[in-house]
């Protein structure tokens, strides 16, 4: 019977990010569907140096990315206008990005949805800052909404 | 979009990943997801069928929420298998009706030759689970029945008939 091709369950990057969000205390996830095709959305989302500071958080001044061994592993160094610095371990693949610093966690996932794009965005605190999560939830929600709106705007601007 | 092929991990590397993930390292969680997702997809697909993606998602959520309870990393895959089968059956039962196994077409029925996946749809989720555990994982009916909390005798006799039907068509 094993020679039969058994059905294999589908599993896309959005579901993968939902798993991380559901099993990682201190994180929240937001999903949206953008009209632009997947390639156009991911071209902006995956540009960590050029685009991410423009749409993610207003405080990010620069983001510098260097390879870290394996092909999908990177190190990103963020510098804020306020002077804050953070070093992130990054996994970046088509449709998938996970970023982790000592105190912060970020993730992005994207899949095609009938020619449009389902995009998910995860953010959260790590370590002792995790205790801030409940109090910061309303702020995080507003920041997340703004970030997704800015990302959609950047996708539209690049398409012009 | 192309994804990189699965990495190969030695047992001590798997143990290190489990330990790091239990300590809150989300990059290790990501690596464990790479390792476990293909296995979970293979288990959930034939049991949950159309609900396979939801079953795989629910399985992996339970796995990573409960990872702190896993004391022996060498037991990882057996532990994940038990969760996957349970979640796949639960998801399939919650979402869809199914015919009883006794309604399977008889051997030789032309319907069997049309679509074996359709025959899987005619099994109850528990029996699909027994079939998967037996055929893909090499687990006998007694252990499978225990895992699924169904009577061994009933599972054995019905499964035997189902396998005969499947084998006749799949090997023809």
The alpha carbon of residue A141 is apart from the nearest alpha carbon of chain B, in Å, by 21
Does the structure show a pLDDT above 70 at A2? no
pLDDT of residue B112: 44
Task: Report the 3 state secondary structure along B89-144.
Answer: HHHHHHHCCCCCHHHCCCCCCHHHHHCHHHHHHCCCHHHHHHHHHHHCCCCCHHHH
Q: What tokens were used for B27?
A: 């990059």
Could you read off the pLDDT of B71-128 as tens digits, one per residue?
Answer: 999 999 999 999 999 999 999 998 765 545 444 445 445 544 445 677 788 778 887 8
To test the contact with chain B by mutation, choose from A3, A8, A9 the residue with the greatest count of B C-beta atoms within 10 A, namely A9
- Give the ipTM of the model, two decimals please: 0.90
pLDDT of residue B3: 45
| A41 is a domain residue | yes
- CATH code of residue A52: 3.30.530.20
CB contact under 8 A, B30 and A20: yes
Q: Which of B26, B56, B67 sits opposite A98 (nearest CB)?
A: B26
Does the structure show a pLDDT above 90 at B41? yes
Does the structure show a pLDDT above 60 at A72? yes
Per the structure, how many domains does chain A have? 1
Could you read off the pLDDT of A9-22 as tens digits, one per residue?
Answer: 999 999 999 999 99
CB contact under 8 A, A19 and B49: no
pLDDT of residue B1: 45
The alpha carbon of residue B46 is apart from the nearest alpha carbon of chain A, in Å, by 5
pLDDT of residue A115: 97
Range of A108's domain? 29-57+92-159
Confidence of residue A143 (pLDDT cuts 50, 70, 90): confident
| Ordered structural domains, chain B, with CATH | 10-96 (1.10.1740.10), 98-172 (1.10.10.10)
Calculate what percentage of chain A has a pLDDT beyond 90: 68
pLDDT of residue A136: 65
Question: Alpha helices, DSSP H only, in chain A?
Answer: 13-23, 38-45, 52-55, 133-159
Contact between residue B143 and residue B78 where contact means Cβ atoms under 8 Å apart: no
CB contact under 8 A, B48 and A9: yes
CA-nearest residue to A1 within chain B is B167
Q: Which of B26, B65, B167 sits opposite A1 (nearest CB)?
A: B167
């Amino acid at each position: 019977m094993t020679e039969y091709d058994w059905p294999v369950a589908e599993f896309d990057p959005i579901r993968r990010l939902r798993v991380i969000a559901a099993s990682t205390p201190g994180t929240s996830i937001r999903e949206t569907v953008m009209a632009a095709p997947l390639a156009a959305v991911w071209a902006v989302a995956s540009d960590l140096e050029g685009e991410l500071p423009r749409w993610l958080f207003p405080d990010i001044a620069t983001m510098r990315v260097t390879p870290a061994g394996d092909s999908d592993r990177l190190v990103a160094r963020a510098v804020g206008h306020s002077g804050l610095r953070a070093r992130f371990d990054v996994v970046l693949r088509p449709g998938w990005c996970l970023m982790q610093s000592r105190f912060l966690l970020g993730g992005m996932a994207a899949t095609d949805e009938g020619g449009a794009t389902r995009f998910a965005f995860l953010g959260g605190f790590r370590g002792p800052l995790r205790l801030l999560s409940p109090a910061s939830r309303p702020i995080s929600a507003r920041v997340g909404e703004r970030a997704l709106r800015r990302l959609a705007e950047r996708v539209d601007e690049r398409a012009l | 979009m192309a994804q990189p092929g699965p990495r190969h991990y030695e047992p001590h590397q798997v143990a290190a990943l489990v330990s790091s993930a239990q300590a809150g390292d989300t990059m290790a969680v990501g690596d464990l997801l790479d390792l476990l997702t293909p296995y979970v997809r293979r288990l959930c697909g034939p049991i949950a069928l159309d609900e396979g993606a939801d079953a795989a998602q629910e399985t992996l959520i339970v796995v990573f929420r409960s990872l702190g309870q896993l004391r022996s990393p060498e037991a990882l895959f057996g532990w994940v298998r038990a969760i996957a089968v349970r979640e796949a059956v639960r998801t399939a039962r919650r979402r869809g009706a199914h015919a009883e196994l006794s309604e399977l077409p008889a051997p030789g029925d032309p319907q069997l030759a049309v679509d074996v996946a359709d025959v899987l749809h005619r099994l109850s989720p528990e029996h699909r689970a027994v079939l998967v555990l037996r055929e893909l994982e090499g687990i006998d009916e007694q252990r499978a029945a225990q895992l699924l909390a169904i009577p061994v005798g009933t599972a054995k006799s019905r499964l035997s008939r189902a396998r005969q039907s499947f084998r006749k068509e799949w090997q023809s």
